[in-house]
């Protein structure tokens, strides 16, 4: 129905849908304006024809919107305001609730991956969504997810950095899609099955490109200064900045000298104490034959039993006063006297938990 209240038509008047909306006209006025010849039939034929024209108009409008969306497939879906109000129930001021897909579309993740401080944060968030939250995204959000993932892969191929976490992300996403595609009859994913098969083929292609990546080495004619040219104390100081034990293992495989330094017990002890609590460490003690603690073995054993401590240079912020989710350098309309005291950092898992009802 084009109206919600009483039908205020006079005898002989009809509701006619035009480009400007619904108008109330008489049959004679409608025929005079549109030069419609006099009908020789029942009055019902006129109503059916008018209804058919209205349906065709709606179908044409929807088709134009769909064509526009299909032509802009590679353009990420974004909003001008890079914040979103997180509400979980209906109130007098707001109806409905905020979903994970809306937040994923609203926050500017395309620009975030260009910032080295936020890159690992976005990658971790994409991995968590790939594990369990992909079916909860809307069709637009799923398309936006794949577009952002493609930009992440292109950035890694250009910079030749963060290769391992992106490989793990693609593998996690591929395994999740393999299980979800089998349930397409249950409408688990939005869209045609062929679209998702094509996306899975793209994931395999990205994995192959990452496997074939060639790290640019220093030219032998102009080597410059390398890590081995630094004093041993500085080398150990740099190694202490690494928060992942797998990076230490990879660094030790470069040459025997670095391999000997990466076996330093103090490095692995600091890693264990940084990521895990004292109680967790006491439960997984490993003592060598000489009576020393095997910190390296303990670290990898603890990793299999407990989650890592997440560390990010920049994260999303949540304002507890106005319930707005935003990036730290983006302003939001906060009405608190001291907005900084109301903002708390949100981890990737915390971001997912905000939209669990």
Which distant-in-sequence residues (6+ apart) come within 8 Å of 243 by Cβ? 271, 274, 275, 311
**Which pLDDT belongs to residue 206?**
94
Distance CA 206, CA 266 (A): 38
Place of tokens 């032998």: 220
Say if CB 303 and CB 272 are below 8 A apart: no
Distances, alpha carbon 305 to alpha carbons 265, 271, 298, in Å = 21, 15, 11
Distances, alpha carbon 347 to alpha carbons 142, 172, 277, 317, 336, in Å = 21, 19, 19, 9, 23
Helix H or strand E encompassing 124: helix 116-128
Distance CA 241, CA 244 (A): 9
Query: In the 8-state DSSP scheme, what is residue 35?
Result: T
Neighbours of 50 (CB within 10 A): 15
**Which pLDDT belongs to residue 172?**
93
Say if CB 264 and CB 291 are below 8 A apart: no
Distances, alpha carbon 136 to alpha carbons 10, 104, 129, 188, 323, in Å = 49, 11, 9, 9, 22
**Which pLDDT belongs to residue 161?**
85
Task: Please give the structure tokens belonging to residue 74.
Answer: 């590679």
How confident is the prediction along the chain (357 residues), in pLDDT tens digits per residue? Answer: 444 444 555 555 677 777 777 777 765 565 555 554 444 444 555 555 555 555 555 555 555 555 545 544 454 444 556 788 887 655 555 555 678 888 888 888 888 888 888 898 999 999 999 988 888 888 888 888 999 999 999 999 988 888 889 999 999 999 988 888 776 555 567 777 788 888 999 999 999 999 988 766 655 666 677 888 888 889 889 888 888 888 899 888 888 888 899 999 999 999 999 999 999 988 888 888 888 889 999 999 999 998 888 888 888 988 888 888 888 887 777 878 887 888 889 989 988 888 876
**CA angle in degrees (0–180, nearest 5) for 112-117-123:** 60
Cα diameter, the chain: 108
Task: Please give the structure tokens belonging to residue 189.
Answer: 């994913």
**Which pLDDT belongs to residue 61?**
57
Say if CB 148 and CB 76 are below 8 A apart: yes
Say if CB 305 and CB 286 are below 8 A apart: no
**Which pLDDT belongs to residue 150?**
93
**Which pLDDT belongs to residue 227?**
82
Q: Report the predicted TM-score, pTM, of the whole model to 2 decimal places.
A: 0.68
**Which pLDDT belongs to residue 1?**
44
Backbone angles phi, psi at 22, to 5 degrees: -85, 135
- How are beta strands 83-85 and 324-327 bridged, if at all? antiparallel
**CA angle in degrees (0–180, nearest 5) for 316-320-325:** 30
Strands (E), 79-171: 83-85
Judged on CB neighbours under 10 Å (0-12, 13-18, 19+), 119 is: buried
């Amino acid at each position: 129905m084009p109206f919600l209240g009483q039908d205020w038509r006079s005898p002989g008047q009809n509701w006619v849908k035009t480009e400007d909306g619904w108008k109330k006209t008489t049959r004679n006025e409608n025929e005079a304006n549109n030069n419609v010849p006099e009908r020789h039939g029942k009055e019902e034929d006129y109503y059916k024809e008018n209804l058919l024209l209205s349906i065709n108009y709606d179908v044409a409008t929807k088709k134009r919107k769909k064509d526009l969306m299909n032509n802009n497939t590679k353009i990420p879906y974004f909003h001008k305001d890079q914040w979103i109000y997180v509400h979980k129930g209906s109130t007098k001021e707001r109806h409905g609730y905020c979903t994970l897909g809306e937040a994923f579309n609203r926050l500017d993740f395309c620009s975030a991956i260009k910032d080295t401080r936020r890159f690992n944060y976005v990658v971790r968030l994409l991995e968590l969504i790939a594990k369990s939250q992909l079916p909860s995204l809307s069709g637009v959000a799923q398309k936006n997810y794949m577009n952002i993932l493609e930009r992440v892969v292109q950035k890694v191929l250009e910079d030749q950095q963060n290769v391992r976490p992106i490989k793990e992300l693609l593998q996690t996403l591929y395994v999740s899609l393999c299980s979800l595609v089998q349930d397409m009859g249950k409408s688990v994913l939005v869209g045609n099955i062929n679209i998702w098969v094509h996306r899975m083929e793209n994931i395999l292609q990205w994995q192959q490109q990452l496997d074939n990546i060639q790290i640019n080495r220093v030219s032998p004619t102009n080597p410059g200064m390398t890590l081995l040219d630094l004093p041993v104390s500085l080398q150990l100081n740099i190694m202490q900045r690494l928060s992942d034990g797998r990076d230490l293992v990879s660094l030790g495989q470069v040459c025997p000298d670095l391999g000997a330094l990466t076996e330093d017990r103090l490095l692995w002890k600091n890693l264990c104490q940084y990521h895990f609590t004292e109680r967790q460490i006491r439960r997984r003690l490993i003592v060598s034959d000489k009576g020393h603690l095997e910190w390296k073995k303990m670290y990898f054993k603890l990793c299999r039993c407990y989650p890592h401590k997440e560390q990010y240079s920049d994260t999303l912020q949540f304002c507890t006063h106005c319930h707005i989710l935003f990036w730290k350098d983006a302003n939001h309309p906060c009405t608190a006297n001291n907005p900084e005291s109301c903002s708390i950092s949100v981890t990737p898992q915390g971001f997912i938990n905000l939209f669990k009802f």
